[in-house]
Each structure stands twice: as structure tokens, then as C-alpha cells.
Amino acid sequence: MTAPPRLAAGQVRARAELVPDPELPMVTLADLGVLRAVRADADGVLEIVITPTFLGCPAMRVIEAELLAVLAAAGHPDGRVRQELAPAWSSDWISAEGRRKLAEHGIAPPGPANAPLPVRLGLAVPCPHCGSVATRPQSMFGATRCQTVLLCTACLETFAQMKGM
């Protein structure tokens, strides 16, 4: 068996960007802003830098394993994955493409991360099912740590929104 050719950092990054998030598989690590950098050190060893959405998020272990597999398949079995906590992940890092995909799958994208919390929770969030803005917060906490739950008073469906933070 021949070892795969060693791809350049840019090509590895293009592959890493496509890895789906284990909890929200409709979006990629690039869409979420979890993938921060792919760089080579002086010896040509590649390092992929990721920032967890939530501290101690159990999905990070799965993400690390998947990125190590990407590195190995790209000819970098010696590559590393490193978690960086600073700067802290912000929902503002979710790309426009990521927001579109979330909404398409029934999860409203987050509002602005920096407004005070009562303002964030008070903003009208369009229902991802029927588009109505006649929605109201139902619970600040949802099915995963990054989601909150709203109720649409037009179509009477509840839906999740990514927390703006």
C-alpha cells in the first residue's frame, strides 16, 4: 500500500472545512466557525486549530477524531489537532451559508451575540416553518446546549433557535 501524497495546508483546509458537525450534521465545521486555522510548523507538521462552541463540549472528541482522519488521508498521519479557547467562540462566527442551512432544517439562526441578553431574547425570530414573526420564547434551554426553544403563535409549532452568544 502506498502512502497518500502529502497535500498542502490549503488543500487540507478545504477538506477539513467539509467535515459535518456531529450534533448538527446539516452544517460543517467551517459553517459553524469551529475550524479556526490549518497551519504547518517549521518541520512541515500540520496542525488544525479548532475552538469549541461550548466549554467541554463532548462533540469535540468526535470532531478531533474526524479531523485526524482527514489529516491521515491527506498524507499527514503525523498531523495534530489542537483546541484553542481564546478568543471564545461566538455565534456571530456562523457563516451566512451556515445560517441558511440551519433555517432550512428548522433551526432558526442566532441573533446578534453582543446585545444584552434580555434584548436578544426579546427580538422577533421568524418561524423557520411558516415565516411568521409572531413567535415568542418558550424556554431558554433546548435539546442541546447551544439551542433555545420558541413557539410560533401562527402555525403553533415549537422550534429551536441557536443561542446568540
Partner 1 sequence: MTADAQSRDVAGYALRLGDDALVLSQRLCAWVTRAPTIEEDLAIASIALDLLGHARVLLGHTGERDGTGRTEDDLAYLRTERQFRNTLLVELPNGDFGTTVARQLVFSCYTLLLYTALARSAEPVLAAFAGRAAKEVEYHRMHAAQWTVRLGLGTAESHRRMQAGLDRVWPYTGELFEADESAERLDACGTAVAPARLRSAWELEVGAVLAEAGLTVPQPNWQATGGRSGLHTEAFGPLLAELQAVRRQYPDGSW
Which residues contribute to the site for partner 1 (CB under 8 A)?
A: 54-57, 84-89, 117-118, 121, 138-145, 149, 163, 165
CB 88, min distance to partner 1, A? 4
CB 26, min distance to partner 1, A? 21
Of the two residues 14 and 123, which places its CB atom closer to partner 1 in the complex? 123
Peptide bond into 116 cis (omega under 30): no
Q: How far apart are CA 34 and CA 23, in angstroms?
A: 13
Q: Residue 31: what residue type?
A: D
Q: How far apart are CA 57 and CA 18, in angstroms?
A: 20
Of the two residues 88 and 133, which places its CB atom closer to partner 1 in the complex? 88
Of the two residues 95 and 138, which places its CB atom closer to partner 1 in the complex? 138
Is the Cβ–Cβ distance between 103 and 128 less than 8 Å? yes
What is the grid cell recorded at 110?
Answer: 442566532
CB 141, min distance to partner 1, A? 4
